[in-house]
Structure 1
Amino acid sequence: MKKKSLITLSILLCASASIAQENKETKMVLNMENTTKAPLDPQTLWKLGRVSGEGISTDGKTLVYGVSNYAVETNSSEKNLYTLSLETGNTAPLTSEKGGESVIQITENGDIIYLFKGQLWKKNRYKGEAIQLTHSETDLENVKLSPNGQYILFSKAVLIKKYHSTDKYPDLPKSDAYVFDNLDYRHWDTFNNGKFNHPFVASYNNGKIGEAIDLLQDEPFYSPQMPFGGSEDFEWTPDSKAVLYVSKKRFGTEYAVSTNTDIYRYDLTSKQTTNLTEGMNGYDTNPTYSPDGTKLTWLSMKKDGYEADKNDIIIFDKASSQRLNLTAHWDGTVNSFIWSKDNRKIYFVAPSKGTVQLFELTVPTNLKNKSLASIKQISEGNFDITGIVGQVANQLIVTSTKFTRATEIYKYDLANKTLTALTTVNDKMYAHISDNKIESRITKASDGQDLFSWVIYPPDFDPTKKYPTILYCEGGPQSALTQFYSFRWNLQLIASQGYIVIAPNRRGMPGWGVKWNEAISKDWGGQPIRDYLSAIDDISKEKYVDTARRAAIGASYGGYSVYMLAGVHENRFKTLIAHNGLFDMRSWYGTTEELFFANHELGGPYWDKANAKSYTEFNPSEYVDKWNTPILIFQGGHDYRVPIGQGLGAFQAAQLKKIKSRLVYLPDENHWVLSGHNAQVWQREFFGWLKETL
């Protein structure tokens, strides 16, 4: 359920309008003559711009960022690019065409090369009109230009296997059937149609693309990784003589039970491919060279089949042929990283005690002696550093969120440790949104361990009053519960409707050490569920909690948690909401697609008696006889991670037991809700149910 890049996908859907139009719409929505603040509501939430850091100019003077905006009227989104002077702070629109642009490269002369509608475009940050560079017959994806500018690397889908009937039987063009002999017949939200994304390399001359070479040579493998891999799976060698790409070179059933991706090097001259991570059995991703080109670094997990394993930074020094795990001794897991400009340090972001923070790693000068890298956390506060755009002098340009603020771009001063906003896309909107009090809370769990929770209070919280209180159950199950900002599971939005929200960092969440992170595996219905009960019991001691009006909500593993709590909560909760949760572990194992996840988390298949506990004691469907609480169930029709039978089974059980229940079926959605109108339906049903039952 958790994916490395997932993390941010829950706030997809975007595209943006021009600054003038954005300001016009903002004034219309807010009625600027009225300066009173109001609690955040779903309509206002969806009018916020979604900000992305796109790149920094070579001279460090200009930041390019994207802003995405959603139009409810057309149920469509638009993203445009803007420039921001890091010297003056002035901003200017760069693109305004309908669609979505993403930056590929910013050249020394100020040309910004970006991808738009599958083709490369160029526009100078100082002057001139946009120029279309490429006119490829097929759309370009995941583009990376070589350092010398003479080659282009991109991906496209290639038909390798004739799974669909129209490919297998051309004389039956109106047929619609799939024929499979192996697993990996479907993944995430699509059935395998026999097409595999492959990396291609070709000569490149000012937009003219030469004959492209398929680096996977018609093999049934993916690169980038499916379903969420992107251009971060590609890298050029500094001399432009070779390409690195990430791939899991396994097929069918072997593909479905493994996480063993490797980093491969393709030499343009010899046309030979070398596996650079042979013998490294888990995920190997994000190949990145140091600025001087002498060292290769990447992210690596040790265990095959464990998608949430500790993510370490590996370094390989070409001169000495030494390879070293730089973070092996550090008790945490890395999200992403960049090299410092002087080649001496690596900056990375990682979960830390309910937040995501910046860390600094000093690279050992002599890798042969295997000396430990010095690692220290350099930022601290009630915010998340969600990514690092780049470095400018003694500052890092980063993206950051809080429970009460969507993504904006900031500069982090490495000397004085301060975080200063560079973009203020949503400031006018937030000026009219009521603030929420946020507190941290420590509870003694049932086993005596300290359990950290975030508590989000309604606007104008009055401790002398009583409030309905909601337990938020995070998914993953090994996802960090930090100061995230979501456009659906938005804890500020929920609290702003008059509820207290408690969000525990239960067992299984990164940020509290590797042991805590790993504790959930094969214990889904054990200590993590007891952690949830400890958290809600503890906050219920407060006089402002209305113990007769408590709810539990969650999605994915959080939905599983709600189904489990439905059978064991002993009348703590008045109502429940589960989204795409796992209801019956036997049927789930038989229909989910990434079996490596199920094998690691549950121990293996249900027919192996060694795993009996996962399918009995930790199986929500085994407790239906104890269900007695109203429940709202959301289920996506294209969710193949937690297939449709899970939500339907839970709803049918509740209905047959004559429990007040409701099913919201979203036939075109996957594990998430990506359509804006569907998201509005989701939120109306969500808050309508709470109002009706809590």
Structure 2
Amino acid sequence: MSQPLLRARRVACALATLSALPAARPAALLAQGATAQGAARRPMTFADFAAVQAVSDPQLSPDGRHVLYAVRTTDVAGNRRTTTTYLAETAGDHPAAIHDGAASEARWSPDGRWIAYVAGGQLWIRDVEGRTRRQVTRLNGGATGPVWSPTGGAIVFTSTVWPECTTGGNDDACNRQRDSVKAASKVQAYTADRLLYRHWTSVDAGTRNHLFAVAIDGQGNAGAPRDLVPGAGYDVPPGPFGGSEGYAVSPDGQEVAFSAKAPTRDEAWSTDVNLYVVPMAGGAPTVLTAANAGADQNPVYTPDGKHIAYASQRRAKFESDRWRLMLLDRATRQSRELLTGWDRNADAYVFAPDMSAAWVTTGDRGRDKLFRVALRDGRAAGAPQLVIGDHNNVAFSFSRDRGTVAWLRDAANRPAEVYVASTAGAKVEPRQLTQYNVGLVSQLALAPAEDFWFRGADGDSVHGFVVRPPNWQAGRKYPGILLIHGGPQGAWLDQWHGRWNYNMLAAPGFALIVVNPRGSTGYGQRFVDQVTGDWGGRAYTDLMRGMDAALAKHPWIDRTRMGATGGSYGGYMTNWIATHAPEKFRALATHAGIWNLENMYGATEEIWFTEWEMGGPYWDPKAMQSQYRRWSPHLGAARLKTPQLVLHGEIDYRVPYYEGVSLFTALQRQNVPSRLVVFPDEGHWIGKPQNQQLWWKEMQGWFTKYLQPADAPRTAM
């Protein structure tokens, strides 16, 4: 539904050849299910899905010679995941763990001598050689998100505190005592005097994330941590997912910029996140972007220290407005847009040391890509030029001189690995550094995402993917599943998805039709805007036309054996299909989907989302007539007849779980074959390993039951 404000082993010769194929190439080689040696590959099981080592967070050393990265492994039996951070050479890998035990969020000091990281919930520091290792913090609220001062003299980070314990400076004994009293209380009731008392999966208990600084000397010795925003009643950065991208230190180390949302009465229906600055030595924060009622976030100081770059949304209360790349003049406090006329989001950005260029990451037509724009006198000198765009590319990290870059690359048929490249030449030549999943992937029949375009609801071009079933064979007919993304302002990408994994869904022998209807990001802001106020309209038409176009292009997909599924808005649209096109599908599966729009308004936590999308609250007569009573799936409950699986997390505050319960009641009351699966310990996303295992068993089992012939071979979970 609503998106958060705000996002090493050797390779076999056969897989090296395979991975060089372009993602859009037809599946003649990739989906045949045979290695170069002729051995059949097998469909992916949940054990395989869980065995994938999730590589993330590459951090290139200032000199470009080393890279830090994290690897998360899953223990299904133990129902837990563990993250280990490695230090490797960019020239030849040779990884070594930086800590004895789990560690994450590793960051280089500006001189490359020290590494700050988080282990055991506290901040640590070690030298590159590993000879010196020290625990920097022992705070009750832990530490997360370390960011070095460019001078190397301090690290800023966040810690959870009780604001009233910080008004005279951080009193950690007070924090411990308050937590102890709360834990010992037999009363677990909570009270609220204003909205946003729940967010994502958490109830507001009174604590906040505050920004801290700790001095570090040349020998790696640390001083006492200092709360930079004592007494603040807001989180730095805003929840629920904000990280270290939400704050930065000035080049001279004297100032910290951060994004935060003031705790005002309208917090639940306002998107007014602002940028603030606070002296590193202490003092009152100063708001910089109060004039803009939209969201402003993720500050980055330019290397010359003259400006703060940040991402900004112009329209108030619209969380999916285009993120403009802005430059704020620190002397005049005036802001201007850097890339006027560029109809893409500025998701991340970095500047050349001499301010001759900027690199910007953005989603573009189903893939995350890196663009470069030349600068002259702090202004764009031409349109952004594509630098890295094959497959899906995120988390770019540059060397000090910007001559080397490391990043993550994945695709529908390849889990993420770290890549490195030089940016000095006319053409960037990516080189895969890590190979954690090569051995596993070489055993699996994984299909790429094949692009297709079709004529959408407005006669325009709309994009989608087709993913073939494992071991696809010409001449055979396969059932298909229409996959619908959430948001609705979001997008399916050519990526290895950690939840809605294409090849996992396809594993029992299904073809996937993966459409990015209007509302999807990466195709221009006008395309995004066209879903607002039209939830069941043109986006629905795009999906149906996309499915028809895919079926026409790929006649091996059996149009008489189609299913549809999605989560959040994708769940809403699946419910809309259930009441408006039941004849097109044999089975449906809804995860965390909206059923009753009126009830959803009063139950969700981020009210700004529903008010923007529906044009106001349900008691507004115009909004009620044009939206709530037009686009709510529950009004078509009498037309339910398609077998439907309903999945939901019980602590889902974005789309509360009784939306799924209400849908299940309507299905059961009318004797429609249906099944309800509720996860008491999950929210909007199902994340715990054993819960994911059950989720996939139910999802695959439901579609196998209704789409596959009774004599079809079954794929083991």
Instruction: Report the TM-score when normalising by structure 1.
Output: 0.90
3-state SS, counterpart of residue 80 of structure 1? strand
Aligned pairs for 1:191-210 within 5 A: 191-205=203-217, 206-210=220-224
Query: Given the alignment, which residue of 427, 433, 449 partners 1:416?
Result: 427
Query: How far apart are the structure 2 equivalents of 1:514 and 1:153?
Result: 35
Corresponding residue for residue 627 of structure 1: 640
Corresponding residue for residue 398 of structure 2: 390
Contact 2:271 2:608 in 1 (8 A): yes
Shift of 1:676: 0.5
Shift of 1:287: 0.5
Query: How far apart are the structure 2 equivalents of 1:161 and 1:269?
Result: 21
Tell me, yes or no, if structure 1 residue 296 matches structure 2 residue 326. Answer: no
Corresponding residue for residue 123 of structure 2: 120
3-state SS, counterpart of residue 55 of structure 2? strand
Contact 2:83 2:102 in 1 (8 A): yes
Q: Deviations over 1:264-319 (max 9, x none)?
A: 11124572422121202211111111223232211111111111110011113446
Q: Which letter maps to 1:520? A: V
3-state SS, counterpart of residue 418 of structure 1? coil
Query: Given the alignment, which residue of 76, 85, 89 partners 2:80?
Result: 76
Query: Given the alignment, which residue of 648, 651, 655 partners 2:661?
Result: 648
Corresponding residue for residue 3 of structure 1: 3
Aligned pairs for 1:335-346 within 5 A: 335-346=347-358
The 1:284–1:539 alpha-carbon spacing in structure 2 relative to 1, beyond 3 Å, is same
3-state SS, counterpart of residue 244 of structure 1? strand
Q: Which letter maps to 2:305? A: G
Contact 1:389 1:399 in 2 (8 A): no
Shift of 1:322: 5.3
Q: Deviations over 1:605-630 (max 9, x none)?
A: 11111112221121010111111100
Corresponding residue for residue 316 of structure 1: 328
3-state SS, counterpart of residue 131 of structure 2? coil
Query: Given the alignment, which residue of 156, 159, 162 partners 2:159?
Result: 156
Deviates more, 1:500-509 or 1:239-248: 239-248
Aligned pairs for 1:47-196 within 5 A: 47-86=51-90, 88-95=91-98, 97-106=100-109, 108=111, 110-128=113-131, 130-160=133-163, 173-196=185-208
The 1:375–1:397 alpha-carbon spacing in structure 2 relative to 1, beyond 3 Å, is farther
3-state SS, counterpart of residue 266 of structure 2? helix
Shift of 1:96: 5.3
Deviates more, 1:138-147 or 1:310-319: 138-147
Shift of 1:631: 0.2
Deviates more, 1:286-295 or 1:574-583: 286-295
Shift of 1:437: 4.7
3-state SS, counterpart of residue 529 of structure 1? helix
3-state SS, counterpart of residue 530 of structure 1? helix
Corresponding residue for residue 712 of structure 2: none
Tell me, yes or no, if structure 1 residue 404 matches structure 2 residue 413. Answer: yes
3-state SS, counterpart of residue 538 of structure 1? helix
3-state SS, counterpart of residue 448 of structure 1? coil
Aligned pairs for 1:546-557 within 5 A: 546-557=558-569
Q: Deviations over 1:163-208 (max 9, x none)?
A: xxx99x99x9422221212111111111111222222345455444
Contact 1:599 1:605 in 2 (8 A): yes
Query: Given the alignment, which residue of 417, 425, 450 partners 2:461?
Result: 450
3-state SS, counterpart of residue 375 of structure 1? coil
Tell me, yes or no, if structure 1 residue 603 matches structure 2 residue 606. Answer: no
Query: How far apart are the structure 1 equivalents of 2:332 and 2:92?
Result: 44
Corresponding residue for residue 508 of structure 2: 497
Query: How far apart are the structure 2 equivalents of 1:64 and 1:479?
Result: 30
Contact 1:122 1:132 in 2 (8 A): yes
Q: Paired residues, what number?
A: 662
Q: Which runs of 5+ in 1 are unaligned?
A: 8-17, 21-32
Query: Given the alignment, which residue of 686, 691, 700 partners 1:673?
Result: 686
3-state SS, counterpart of residue 93 of structure 1? strand
Shift of 1:161: 8.4
Contact 1:382 1:402 in 2 (8 A): no
3-state SS, counterpart of residue 693 of structure 1? helix
Deviates more, 1:437-446 or 1:43-52: 437-446
The 1:578–1:191 alpha-carbon spacing in structure 2 relative to 1, beyond 3 Å, is same
Corresponding residue for residue 24 of structure 1: none
Corresponding residue for residue 25 of structure 1: none
Task: Report the identity percentage.
Answer: 28
Q: Which runs of 5+ in 2 are unaligned?
A: 11-36, 166-177, 708-717
Shift of 1:160: 4.7
Query: How far apart are the structure 2 equivalents of 1:106 and 1:270?
Result: 22
Tell me, yes or no, if structure 1 residue 530 matches structure 2 residue 559. Answer: no
Q: Deviations over 1:340-376 (max 9, x none)?
A: 3442111111121222211112223155xxxx55222
CA RMSD between the two structures: 2.7
Query: How far apart are the structure 1 equivalents of 2:541 and 2:140?
Result: 57
The 1:467–1:306 alpha-carbon spacing in structure 2 relative to 1, beyond 3 Å, is same
Corresponding residue for residue 376 of structure 1: 384
Structure with bigger RCO (C-alpha 8 Å, 6+ apart): 2
3-state SS, counterpart of residue 584 of structure 2? coil
Query: How far apart are the structure 2 equivalents of 1:517 and 1:445?
Result: 14
Shift of 1:19: 8.1
Q: Which letter maps to 1:275? A: V
The 1:373–1:302 alpha-carbon spacing in structure 2 relative to 1, beyond 3 Å, is farther
Query: Given the alignment, which residue of 203, 225, 244 partners 2:257?
Result: 244
Shift of 1:678: 0.4
Corresponding residue for residue 42 of structure 2: 38
Deviates more, 1:374-383 or 1:640-649: 374-383
3-state SS, counterpart of residue 324 of structure 1? strand
Query: How far apart are the structure 2 equivalents of 1:19 and 1:402?
Result: 19
Contact 1:437 1:458 in 2 (8 A): no
Contact 1:57 1:110 in 2 (8 A): no
Query: How far apart are the structure 1 equivalents of 2:153 and 2:6?
Result: 33
Contact 2:65 2:89 in 1 (8 A): yes
Shift of 1:139: 1.5
Contact 1:101 1:115 in 2 (8 A): yes
The 1:552–1:512 alpha-carbon spacing in structure 2 relative to 1, beyond 3 Å, is same
Q: Which letter maps to 2:67? A: L
Contact 1:529 1:561 in 2 (8 A): yes
Query: How far apart are the structure 2 equivalents of 1:85 and 1:100?
Result: 19
Query: How far apart are the structure 1 equivalents of 2:677 and 2:38?
Result: 37
Q: Which letter maps to 2:522? A: G
3-state SS, counterpart of residue 73 of structure 2? strand
Contact 1:521 1:602 in 2 (8 A): yes
Q: Which letter maps to 1:383? A: H
Query: How far apart are the structure 1 equivalents of 2:579 and 2:136?
Result: 60
3-state SS, counterpart of residue 51 of structure 2? coil
Instruction: Report the TM-score when normalising by structure 2.
Output: 0.87
Query: How far apart are the structure 2 equivalents of 1:78 and 1:366?
Result: 43
Deviates more, 1:275-284 or 1:146-155: 146-155
Query: How far apart are the structure 2 equivalents of 1:259 and 1:553?
Result: 30
Corresponding residue for residue 224 of structure 1: 237
Query: How far apart are the structure 1 equivalents of 2:619 and 2:598?
Result: 9
Corresponding residue for residue 277 of structure 2: 265
Query: How far apart are the structure 2 equivalents of 1:37 and 1:422?
Result: 25
3-state SS, counterpart of residue 383 of structure 2? strand
Contact 1:408 1:423 in 2 (8 A): yes
The 1:523–1:109 alpha-carbon spacing in structure 2 relative to 1, beyond 3 Å, is closer
Corresponding residue for residue 213 of structure 1: 227
Contact 1:189 1:639 in 2 (8 A): yes
Contact 1:575 1:631 in 2 (8 A): yes
Shift of 1:107: 5.1
The 1:264–1:319 alpha-carbon spacing in structure 2 relative to 1, beyond 3 Å, is closer
3-state SS, counterpart of residue 406 of structure 1? strand
The 1:109–1:194 alpha-carbon spacing in structure 2 relative to 1, beyond 3 Å, is closer
The 1:640–1:127 alpha-carbon spacing in structure 2 relative to 1, beyond 3 Å, is closer
Query: Given the alignment, which residue of 487, 498, 502 partners 2:498?
Result: 487
The 1:507–1:161 alpha-carbon spacing in structure 2 relative to 1, beyond 3 Å, is farther
